[in-house]
Chains A and B, each alone.
Chain A
Amino acid sequence: MAHLARLKLSEEEAQEFTPQLQTILSYIDTLNELDVEGVEPSAHAKPVFAAPRADEPGTSLDVSRLEQNAPAFAQEQIRVPRVVES
């Protein structure tokens, strides 16, 4: 699960979290008391549909500010480790 969440947990963290998460999950199981057959799921309290904004050209974020935040930056690009095998 940690790998799926892209978290590399230490041995101590795994030891600490496992029983905690088990307790939480068994508490969450109280939902099984409820019969939800035929109930529609709600992703939002008040869904707002079809609200795209007008497709107008405009200024985006200032590149120099993005550069300042990037851990590695070169030639107006963010640098990352190699992703394609050579």
Chain B
Amino acid sequence: MLNTKTISELKVGYASGDFTPLEVVTSLESAISTRDGEIGSFLSRNLDAAVAQAEAADLSLPLGGVPIAIKDNINVLGEPCTCASKFLSGSYQSPYNATVINKLIAAGAIPFGRANLDEFAMGSATENSALQVTRNPHDLDRVPGGSSGGSAACVAADLAIASLGSDTGGSIRQPASHCGVVGFKPSYGRVSRYGLVAFASSLDQIGPLTKSVTDAALLTNVLSGHDKMDSTSLDAAVPDYTEGLEAGVKGKKIGVPKEYLSGDLHPDVKANVEKAIKALESEGAEIVEVSLPHTKYCVPTYYILAPAEASSNLSRFDGVRYGTRSSEVTDVLSMYENSREEGFGPEVKRRILLGTYVLSSGYYDAYYLKAQKVRTLIMRDFQEVFEQVDALIAPVAPDPARKISAGSEDPLKEYLADIFTIGANLAGIPAISVPCGTANVDGSDLPVGLQILGPHLGEQTVLQVARAWEILRD
């Protein structure tokens, strides 16, 4: 059962010679063949490449011989990168490695398995994937969350040791919460976005989904750092995030934003988060109530800015250089319009339309510029709060995973559930989801996540608080 192990456990096992990377890859492949038929977390995998890399693995490297699943919107040279879209499926092969992939390979890791997602990462249930349904390993009738639903489900079902996801409005943390794994979104600029297919460039960030906080720290060590290929990546020193990880919370000031625990929360989610707050307090953390007064404006601000950026970013899918070109082409315009009509799914079209509208002449000031100003107010809320506290603690999502829907859900209703995760993207701060008990819904015990947020580049504090909770929980 090597597939059930964590990264830390693999490192110990490799060092003592108990097992080899090849045995781990074989164990994962066997678990995937047995179970992924019903879960559907992977869109593709290249076993031959993984075996070759496992045989050649340099175990002296930080992630030597550790297989990592990759969300299918991150480019891996020579592999498909479908973004779960018909536009790219079957026709596109990455001509280069994303910087995070180069970093993983340099650290000895083995990219293995391409994880399902909402098309172009737009969604929160992985139901917007044009290619495949992904089911929650804890209840196969339910969604895994999204957009990194495949990345979360494969780790939860032990079909991967760990995975990479991307988070624009909660797309790492919310599926991690729904599937009962750790999901970490680092600060904006901490990790290079080069080679991540862009959704909303000012909000997107790559991060790890893992079985433990220690594994999240190990992966963040490798992923972080300046990249000349991403001008928004920060030229700031990268500390060793595993160092001082068990420093605990004694003397730390932790804020509880009152706006996050009022309102429409599932009672078990609320009770679990409150229990975690009490436990951290009993460990010596000073708990204070704080306010983020512009919280209710996060969702409307996000659903202006993210579609606006998406409508611009997705203009590159025009049928010219890669992906689908419609067969119904008479001139350039019909090539664009028919290729996009055939290639994009409904949620992607909705967001492109919304983004085009809010950027259009006559509406720009009323929507886009206004949202950018409100973003300033939301960022100030966080800045002011982090002058008082070291970290914030909150729920990840108001409810546990919902049932897989028969038809299409009401888009606005789905958007509103992003309320607790979007703030960290708008403010560019690090935030993690750590498993925090279960909620009982219709007889199913479903995972609940605890969110810990820190100031910009405050990854260390976030990971320390998360680790402290993990120790208390177990």
Contacts and interface: CB of A to CB of B under 8 A. Distances in A.
A71 B319 contact: yes
Interface stretch (B170-178, B212-220, B351-359): B351-359
B381 to A, nearest CB: 12
Interface string B320-363: 11111100011111111110110010100110111111001000
Contacts, number: 175
A46 B91 CA distance: 36
Interface string A19-49: 0110111011111001010011111111010
A34 B427 CA distance: 18
Interface stretch (B118-126, B153-161, B227-235, B437-445): B227-235
Contacts of B189: 46, 48
A5 B300 contact: no
B304 interface: yes
Given A8-B338, A9-B341, A23-B412, A45 B379 contact: yes
Main secondary structure of the interface of A (DSSP, over half): loop
Contacts of A72: 325
Contact of B322 (A25, A36, A69, A80): A69
A42 to B, nearest CB: 5
Contacts of B344: 7
Contacts of B373: 36, 39-42
A11 interface: no
A71 B234 contact: no
B346 A5 contact: no
Nearest to A8: B337
A47 to B, nearest CB: 8
Nearest to A45: B428
A67 B324 CA distance: 14
B125 to A, nearest CB: 16
Nearest to A20: B411
B375 interface: yes
Nearest to A83: B332
Contacts of A17: 346, 349-350, 353
A46 B337 contact: no
B356 A69 contact: no
B376 A46 contact: no
A45 B427 contact: yes
Interface in A41-86: 41-46, 48, 51-54, 61-62, 65-66, 68-72, 78, 80-83
A21 B353 CA distance: 8
B188 interface: yes
B367 A28 contact: yes
Main secondary structure of the interface of B (DSSP, over half): helix
A31 B300 contact: yes
B132 interface: no
User: Looking at chain A, what size class is its interface with the partner chain?
Assistant: 35 or more
Contacts of A20: 350, 410-412
Given A36-B370, A45-B188, A1 B375 contact: no
Contact of B374 (A21, A36, A44, A83): A36
Contact of A81 (B187, B331, B367): B331
B330 A68 contact: no
A78 B349 contact: no
Contact of B304 (A13, A28, A44): A28
Contact of B412 (A24, A48, A68): A24
Nearest to A46: B428
Given A45-B188, A66-B95, A21 B315 contact: no
A83 B234 CA distance: 41
Nearest to B350: A17
B234 A46 contact: yes
A54 B231 CA distance: 12
A31 B428 contact: no
Contact of A45 (B231, B332, B426): B426
Nearest to A66: B95
B315 to A, nearest CB: 7
A82 to B, nearest CB: 7
Contacts of B390: none
A31 B353 contact: no
Given A7-B337, A16-B346, A52-B231, A70 B321 contact: yes
A31 B93 contact: no
A42 B346 CA distance: 29
Contacts of A7: 337, 340-341, 344, 349, 352-353
Nearest to B413: A23
A71 B325 contact: yes
B267 to A, nearest CB: 26
Contact of A66 (B231, B304, B321): B321
Given A41-B375, A71-B324, 8 more contacts: A5-B311, A6-B336, A20-B410, A23-B410, A31-B301, A71-B323, A78-B320, A80-B332
Interface of A: 1-10, 13, 16-17, 20-21, 23-25, 27-31, 34, 36, 39-46, 48, 51-54, 61-62, 65-66, 68-72, 78, 80-83
